[in-house]
Structure 1
Amino acid sequence: MADAVGRVTPLALVLLALLREGEMHTYEMVRLLRQRKADRLVALTHGTIYHTVARLERGGLIAETGTERDGNRPERTTYALTDAGAAAVPEWVRRELPAIDRPDRFRVALAEAHNLDRDEVLRLLGERRVALTASLEQHRAARASAAERGIHPQFLIEVHRQSALLHADIAWLDDAVEFVGNPDTVWGVADLPVTDRYLVQRAAARA
């Protein structure tokens, strides 16, 4: 499983997480992801999505479940998660949420963190804070050492920027932990109001 999860790209993860809400065809995936503005996290083109769906099917993470026809449009193949695909989503998020060296993947993991239990997310974010704090201290120590050796500040401007970003990231993370840990914060798809669930909207549209 670890090797399979390691080959899952951010776009593939977004598609797998989407299929946790129910089976659907590729056109529906594109429409829903654009509606949810997922293009801020991953590139959404018909070509890349169709290619990724085909690769997920070859990898045994999704499977065809049938075809649908809407009016005079061509038949569309519907897909659903396999057991391996369903397991890949939380495993991918678990791996990427505490990692501080893959920022693009972290953004996707954060967006899909609701696929994990609240307590596990808080633990993983705690691990991330420890790693961020250690990195911040390393940058501060590096700047101090460079200054002692007489290195001019103009050569350390990037190190200074990274220290500021780490400091801001830690401050944001503390707010995020408070938000997730608040019992009033709705967490997980199962806890959403029924009217907000995709499957209910989908069923109503097809009724």
Structure 2
Amino acid sequence: MGFALLLVNYRGSTGFGQDSIYSLPGNVGTQDVLDVQFAVETVLKQGCFDEQKVSISGGSHGGFLACHLIGQFPDFYKACITRNPVTNLTTMIGSTDIPDWCMVEAGLDYSPDTQLDPAAYGQMFDKSPMKHISQVKTPVLLTLGEDDKRVPPKQGIEYYRGLKARQVPVRLLWYQGNNHSLSTIAAESDGFMNIALWIIQHCGL
């Protein structure tokens, strides 16, 4: 069996034209998630990889995807690692520096004086990984930057508490003095070491 690192450019990523980009708002949590899952399953069909040792990792929107994937495909991934993940658009909008992103990606119109109503909050939650947390079985490692203003660390804490309440194996790494990129030498070295150990532990490598 081999080892592979698969990087997926789902529809809505840059580099595929404006039509691709415009296809994603309103379809996050489904279109992007299914694109990634299709790519992973296509690679596995090549027959040279162990389907029982598939792990997933992502940061920011990639963390959003990772959390969605382990919730929507609960028996597929054996380990999950997320860096500053978006987990709940309804709680992120009040504390992020990009509130417009939360609304537009969920398929809503945004203006600075927008007053959200219950239907809008419901639509944002419907697009969020938290919607599927009750189905998660995959062990999750969360790496969070204390000073992240893009995806505030409360997003990861909310997901952590949800998993703990459901007795899903989860660990949270908190990096002081780090923002969204987790780019200090100390954070990168500690983070990548713990990521490797998490995969080894839960994938039996």
Give the structure-2-normalised TM-score.
Answer: 0.29
Give the structure-1-normalised TM-score.
Answer: 0.29
> Which has the larger Rg?
1
